Structure 1
């Protein structure tokens, strides 16, 4: 008797249904995950510390320095000619006593005071600068308040001074136009006396209180009381 080479177990295991099932099932595909590239977020700048009185906030760049196209005024000037540049006047500045070194070109303030008007010396105890206009000087100043009156300076020249009518040029470094007076009438304002001042009789302020009387000793005419 001839035996078959196949065993029943092998034929039974390879059934058509099983074969069909294996062939029809697709191959398993591995799952893929899409990854999104992330960009790093920019970091904000560190906060600026607030300014303190000891470390004030400064601008990024220094502001430009103001410049002027006009030249600097000369160190000295002529009071009679008023030869300072525009916006300046020739007058006295600095501490007393008055001398040639005090005469200089001084800036004119906006809306300056005019002749006979009340004025102000801008530096206490100094001869100037003041608030008077060109050709004027703040004179007869109260030492406590610095307030005085704008006096008219002489024009022309040292050899030929010019003043308004009924006024006389008096003074040296800062010559002023002062009223003429009559020594017999003594027609000066209160506190002044009519005295001869080398060229004419003018009103001079009495320097001592009480003023020296007739036949009393004195250091000059301006110490004597009106006659």
Structure 2
């Protein structure tokens, strides 16, 4: 685990997606527009016993662990919709921002995780060709084609994903998807994607489409930085603005330690003994 904390991560170039490093237990539930999709009569609970408030056709809210979701009639963690339907993130006002959850009928011949998929209407409509365990992600806004990505299992506090992936929780808990892990130094993600810090697991990094163009080395940041950089504490480098919420710091290779600036050193990103397999070489350029 990193010895320093980071701020949230915005997915640059990925419309409607904002990730957070940790839920705020003191935050108040927010509201959304009346989506007019109907109502449900059942009440479900998350794995920790938190009640999910049924959709009431107007302002509503739900707590998924410590996440406050704005408007929801279901829960992707437990998939509590009727038979033949799934809980799906969507945009209630038709923009590209997933801010709510609703039950949608499953495609009669659904695609599965890793398969190409399509969405209806627009990229955040919530209606897609994926099965009940995944959603259509990485959607091309012109063709409305993407890839089925599995939902995280377990709970927001203890998310579970297949080997080689990690859970990305975004948009105040509306999005919870298992994305491929990666090495932030190697940047081995597919074309058009970048390796960024995971929001739930500080020991992991995942591939995200469109990431980049958010901040160069030592730029101020309150969320994301360009690939190869990490949004850390400003006091970790003299080149940073001490009044900024965060500062883009370069990753480095402990086996070939090189850093910009005369005072910075390539120091381990993870505490001794905490580095996950494959990331033992990962360092951060910072003041000692």
Q: Distance in 2 between matches of 1:191 and 1:126?
A: 20
Task: Note the residue ranges of structure 1 that are not aligned, 5 or more in a row.
Answer: 1-70
Task: Note the residue ranges of structure 2 that are not aligned, 5 or more in a row.
Answer: 1-39, 43-53, 56-72, 230-288
1:190 aligns to what? Answer: 191
2:85 aligns to what? Answer: 88
Q: Distance in 2 between matches of 1:165 and 1:221?
A: 27
Quick one: structure 1 residues 122 and 72, their matched pair in 2 at CA, closer, same or farther if it must change by over 3 Å?
farther
Q: Distance in 1 between matches of 2:112 and 2:124?
A: 20
Q: Distance in 1 between matches of 2:210 and 2:221?
A: 11
Post-superposition CA distance 1:143-167 (Å, at most 9, x none):
1111111111101111111110121
Q: Does 1:181 align with 2:182?
A: yes
Q: Which has the larger radius of gyration?
A: 1
The within-5 A match list for 1:60-71 is none
User: Which structure has the higher relative contact order (CA within 8 Å, separation 6+)?
Assistant: 2
Q: Give the number of aligned pairs.
A: 153
1:98 aligns to what? Answer: 98
The within-5 A match list for 1:53-64 is none
Residue 206 of structure 1 contacts residue 225 of structure 1 at CA under 8 Å; is this kept in 2?
no
Q: Does 1:169 align with 2:167?
A: yes
Residue 212 of structure 1 contacts residue 218 of structure 1 at CA under 8 Å; is this kept in 2?
no
| TM-score of the two chains, using structure 1 as the length reference | 0.59
2:109 aligns to what? Answer: 111
Q: Distance in 1 between matches of 2:103 and 2:214?
A: 39
Shift of residue 219, structure 1, vs aligned partner: 5.5
Residue 192 of structure 2 contacts residue 209 of structure 2 at CA under 8 Å; is this kept in 1?
yes
Match of 1:123 among 121, 130, 133: 121
Q: Distance in 1 between matches of 2:88 and 2:159?
A: 16
Residue 195 of structure 1 contacts residue 221 of structure 1 at CA under 8 Å; is this kept in 2?
no
Residue 93 of structure 1 contacts residue 127 of structure 1 at CA under 8 Å; is this kept in 2?
yes
2:145 aligns to what? Answer: 147
Q: Does 1:215 align with 2:217?
A: yes
Residue 90 of structure 1 contacts residue 135 of structure 1 at CA under 8 Å; is this kept in 2?
no
2:76 aligns to what? Answer: 79
Shift of residue 93, structure 1, vs aligned partner: 2.9
Shift of residue 120, structure 1, vs aligned partner: 1.0
Q: Secondary structure at the match of 2:148?
A: strand
| TM-score of the two chains, using structure 2 as the length reference | 0.47
Q: Distance in 1 between matches of 2:209 and 2:222?
A: 12
Q: Secondary structure at the match of 1:175?
A: strand
Shift of residue 212, structure 1, vs aligned partner: 6.4
Match of 1:201 among 202, 205, 224: 205
RMSD, aligned α-carbons:
2.7
Whichever structure has more helix as a proportion of its residues is 1
Whichever structure has more strand as a proportion of its residues is 2
Match of 2:136 among 132, 138, 141: 138
Quick one: structure 1 residues 216 and 104, their matched pair in 2 at CA, closer, same or farther if it must change by over 3 Å?
same
Quick one: structure 1 residues 181 and 149, their matched pair in 2 at CA, closer, same or farther if it must change by over 3 Å?
same
Residue 168 of structure 1 contacts residue 202 of structure 1 at CA under 8 Å; is this kept in 2?
yes
